[in-house]
Amino acid sequence: MKKLVALVLALLMALSCCVALADDVTVAFSQIGQESDWRTANTDSIGKWVGEHEGWIYTYDDAQQKQENQIKALRNFITQGVDVIVLTCIVDSGWEEVLKEINDEEIPLILVDRMPDCMDKIEYYAAFGGDFVEEGRRQVAWAGEYLKTLGRGEEEVSVAIMEGTTGSGAQVGRTEGNLAAMEAYPNMKLVAQQSGNFTRAEGQALMESWLKSIDKIDVLIAQNDDMALGAIEAIKAAGLVPGKDIIIVGCDSVKAAFQAIVDGEMNATIECTPLYGPAVVQCIENLLSGVPGSKELQHPDEGVYDMDGGIDVGGVVSIKAGDVIDERVY
């Protein structure tokens, strides 16, 4: 980082930041793994935009779903003397020590997607991520409003919540939003709540288990689309009709979920964009140009997609997935 600080100061004094700062900047990204289509798109977006930037050197580490691998990678980045670190945290806790080590070396830190729970105790240049609580709220609100269109707004219905990786920001936030929203729909009764770890295989296995042990599930709230897609396979194998016998609401809005909605096997998906590459590049360019960072967690604008469109989930009206499926790039 001392190299970068010296460059910035010298170039600012020379009034030629934009040209010289484009060269020999090493950007390192610690990613949690590749548990889903969303995660793959997220990795590809950042890798493409940062990796193809002229004069930048891109270093990537896949933690394979293990926090200890991420911590090891971050310390390796420090040893390598990288100029900027981009981090997605697999879980919320356990980061303060290693992130303070990054701060001590004065390496700028950019947080993406999942945030650590020590943000008030560390220094970081910027943070970008979805509003997980709002996403979870929208999932349940969509299901509740959709039930009303079916004339089932007063009928007692059984709801299962398939959670993501336990302790991750996405799981914690979406669960908070799911449960808070259910208070507004007293006819929706929670009958199951368990982690499917954000993977298609574990979502399928969990749904198979629930279908054997629970008398009736009317609504499945899956905290990402991959788990929902896995659950669809289990529902079909059990001789039930996904999307009809069980209403299915996912999250992320990957193209495979759009196709499942078009096919009538899934009912809705709540958007959480993985395409942070342009934002990360702009952030690093700002950093290198001497623009002050921000402690504010920045959320992108995101939508809701379903079979027919027109369902209001608190100011956001759903869009028909079939009308925009060709525009979906992940």
Neighbours of 48 (CB within 10 A): 15
Low-confidence ranges of the chain (pLDDT < 50): 1-22
pLDDT the model gives residue 24: 87
Name the H helices within the chain.
2-14, 17-20, 37-51, 67-80, 96-104, 132-149, 169-182, 200-213, 225-237, 255-262, 277-288, 321-324
- Cα 202 to Cα 128: distance, rounded to the nearest angstrom: 28
Rounded to the nearest 10°, the torsion over CA 95, 101, 104, 107 is -80
Residue 55: φ, ψ to 5°: 85, -10
pLDDT the model gives residue 185: 97
Q: What is the pTM of this model?
A: 0.87
pLDDT the model gives residue 23: 66
pLDDT the model gives residue 17: 33
* Closest by Cα among 127, 69, 128, 80 to 102: 80
pLDDT the model gives residue 3: 41
- Rounded to 5°, the CA angle 169-172-173 comes to 80
Q: Is 182 left (phi over 0), alpha (psi -120 to 50) or beta?
A: alpha
Domains and CATH numbers, the chain: 2-129+274-298 (3.40.50.2300), 132-272+304-327 (3.40.50.2300)
Structure tokens at 97: 């020590």
pLDDT the model gives residue 182: 97
